[in-house]
């Protein structure tokens, strides 16, 4: 990938993504702590992505990508490698948008995350961490 040209998203890309995920991801609040602001000498806002239905901000990226699938890609399904939050978001979005998902996870992934991914209908393949990239091709 060293020869690949870096292509940065444009404001139109951001607007398109926002349109795709509308109704899937919720607009989570920004939280502020006056005590942290004092400690830092500035203003710190924290995005509460944990309030998404899947429990993390990763839902937004997964929803955008699954919503952008072509009809052929949707028929073939998606594959992701994840130890939890991304896999959970992919599984949720695949079920919601009528496609299938395979999540390749390390064999050390938390059992509760794996159970939630499976509950959304994804096939989970657990492998040793060093084989994750090889299996998720």
CA neighbor of 24 nearest in space, from 64, 82, 77? 64
CA angle, corner 125, sides to 123 and 131, nearest 5?
A: 150
Q: How many CA atoms lie within 13 A of 11 on its CB side?
A: 0
Catalytic residue among 33, 47, 56, 83: 83
Please say whether the beta carbons of 106 and 125 come within 8 A.
no
Catalytic residue among 19, 33, 34, 58: 58
Q: What are phi and psi of 120, to 5 degrees?
A: -85, 5
47 is catalytic: no
Whole-angstrom Cα distance, residue 6 to residue 87? 26
113 is catalytic: no
Whole-angstrom Cα distance, residue 115 to residue 136? 19
Active site positions, annotated: 58, 83
């Amino acid at each position: 990938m060293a020869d690949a040209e870096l292509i940065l998203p444009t404001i139109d890309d951001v607007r398109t993504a926002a349109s795709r995920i509308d109704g899937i991801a919720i607009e989570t609040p920004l939280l502020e702590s006056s005590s942290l602001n004092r400690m830092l000498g500035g203003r710190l806002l924290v995005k509460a992505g944990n309030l998404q239905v899947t429990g993390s901000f990763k839902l937004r990226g997964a929803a955008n990508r699954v919503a952008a699938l072509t009809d052929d890609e949707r028929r073939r399904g998606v594959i992701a490698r994840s130890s939890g939050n991304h896999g959970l978001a992919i599984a949720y979005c695949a079920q919601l948008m009528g496609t299938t998902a395979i999540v390749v996870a390390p064999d050390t992934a938390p059992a509760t995350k794996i159970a939630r991914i499976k509950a959304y209908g994804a096939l989970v393949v657990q492998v040793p961490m060093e084989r994750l990239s090889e299996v998720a091709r």
